[in-house]
Amino acid sequence: MTYNYALTDSQWNKIKDLLPGKATDPGVTAKDNRLFVNAIIYRYQTGIPWRAMPQEFGDFRVLHTRFSRWAKRGVWDKIFKSLTHDADHEYEMTDSSVVRAHQHSAGAQKKLESKQLGVALGERVPKFTR
């Protein structure tokens, strides 16, 4: 199954050398780092729980374990630092024509309560009502 949020080849080429599990790394060689990274992107883009991960990505327990190990080893931090170093800031601009304030934040003067209104108009208000 193809997903719209999967990494493009250019995106993958930027991060593939930062990931553990390469043939040159000590230990076990990863089966498919790209599928795993796409699974993590899918999970965080959709906001679904780990248990609801599609079977195309594999067992959710294995995904969660691998994600946690990478987080403890700082793999995600390395990826994010690398990507922010080469960031394209095109999408960080905010256009004020899109940002709208809520209708109640328009700056209208607040109405005074009846006790405050009497004092404001110079009336004598008994002490027990102040």
Domain boundaries, the chain: 9-87
Query: pLDDT tens digit string along 69-126?
Result: 999 999 999 988 888 876 666 656 555 565 566 666 666 666 655 555 555 555 665 6
Which string of DSSP letters, residue by residue, matches 46-72?
A: HT--GGG--GGG--HHHHHHHHHHHHH
DSSP letter at 43? H
Q: Give the integer Cα–Cα distance in Å for 48 and 46.
A: 6
Query: pLDDT tens digit string along 106-117?
Result: 666 666 555 555
Query: pLDDT tens digit string along 15-52?
Result: 888 888 776 777 666 778 899 999 999 998 889 999 99
Reported confidence tier of residue 8, pLDDT bands at 50, 70, 90: confident
Cα angle, residue 81 at apex, residues 93 and 92 outer, rounded to 5°: 5
**pLDDT value, residue 64:** 95
How far from 1 is each of 31, 38, 48, 53, 54, CA to CA, in Å?
18, 12, 18, 13, 10
Does the pTM exceed 0.75?
A: no
